[in-house]
Amino acid sequence: MQLKINSINHLAKAAAELLPAIAEKKIIAFYGEMGAGKTTFIKALCKQMGVTEVVSSPTFSIINEYKLAAEKKIYHFDFYRIKNISEAFDMGYEEYFFSNNYCFIEWPEKIEQLLPPQVFKIKIEQKGNERIISWQ
């Protein structure tokens, strides 16, 4: 499946259209080049899911946590700065990935071998002023 957006003003609509595809999937990996809009799209998804807190890039903290209704959470990862896979082990990634909470992962390429088979993959490509969001 694929969505095309040509304005940041269309992100909310794109996020709303994607939510049914995510459904009950909990581990969501976001692929895309630097500046493609991964964090911006995650902000739109979080807003659609009811997050009222500020959603920001966890580039330096590696993980941010956002609250949802009914004691559920979204863990937002940015693995761009990790140097090797052992850093993911050191942070206890398993506790997050298998918590039955949502895990939104930026730069999943850095930890590809740790992703569970049921991961939902979203790719964001920038072509001129247009963003192409595709998933499988």
Going 101 to 107 to 112 to 117, the CA torsion angle's sign is positive
Across the chain, mean pLDDT equals: 92
Q: Which amino acid is at 105?
A: I
- Confidence at residue 70, expressed as pLDDT on a 0 to 100 scale: 81
> What pLDDT score does 61 carry?
86
Question: How are strands ordered across the β-sheet holding 102-106?
Answer: 2-5, 130-135, 120-127, 27-31, 102-106, 73-78, 63-67
Q: For the chain, what is the largest distance between any 2 Cα atoms, rounded to a whole number of angstroms?
A: 41
Query: Could you read off the pLDDT of 109-133 as tens digits, one per residue?
Result: 999 999 999 999 999 998 888 999 9
pLDDT(87) > 90 = yes
- Express each pLDDT in 21-67 by its tens digit: 887 899 999 999 998 889 999 999 999 999 999 999 888 889 999 99
pLDDT computed for residue 47 by the predictor: 93
Q: Produce one character per residue of 90-103: b if its CB has 16 or more CB atoms within 10 Å, e if not.
A: eeebeebbeeebbb
- The count of domains in the chain is 1
List the domain range (segments joined by +) for residue 94.
2-135
Tens digit of pLDDT for each residue in 70-84?
A: 889 999 999 999 999
Domain containing residue 41: CATH number: 3.40.50.300
Q: Which two tokens stand for residue 100?
A: 């039955």
pLDDT category at 12 given cuts 50, 70, 90 is: confident
pTM above 0.85, yes or no: yes
